[in-house]
């Protein structure tokens, strides 16, 4: 279905590949395992995002000058 679309390269290529994968080829147990792995990756991504947001907030607080 998506074979005729150009394949992305670099960042995001693996995610794009996941979206193109034919899930009909998987059995129930394989799909459950896939979901568990994806949920773990989502948690890892959320943790990285939280860390980056905390650093940005700290930098914003450090460099925000409030005029009197």
Q: Tell me how far apart the alpha carbons of residues 8 and 10 are, in angstroms, rounded to a whole number.
A: 7
Rounded to two decimals, the pTM is 0.69
Residue 9 lies in a domain: no
pLDDT score for 68? 45
Give the number of domains in the chain: 1
Average pLDDT over residues 39-58: 96
CB atoms within 10 A of CB 34: 14
Task: Give the end-to-end CA distance of the chain in Å, rounded to a whole number.
Answer: 61
Distance of CA 66 to the CA centre of its chain: 36
pLDDT at 23 exceeding the cut of 90: yes
Q: Give residue 19's Cα distance to chain centre.
A: 12
Question: What is the spatial distance between Cα 38 and Cα 23, in angstroms, rounded to a whole number?
Answer: 14
Q: What range defines the domain where residue 37 resides?
A: 26-63
Whether residue 52 lies inside any domain: the answer is yes
């Amino acid at each position: 279905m998506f074979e005729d679309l150009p394949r992305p390269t670099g960042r995001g290529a693996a995610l794009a590949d996941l979206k193109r994968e034919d899930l009909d080829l998987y059995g129930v147990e394989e799909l459950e395992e896939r979901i568990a792995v994806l949920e773990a990756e989502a948690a890892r991504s959320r943790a990285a995002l939280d860390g980056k947001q905390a650093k940005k907030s700290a930098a914003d607080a450090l460099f925000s000058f409030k005029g009197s």
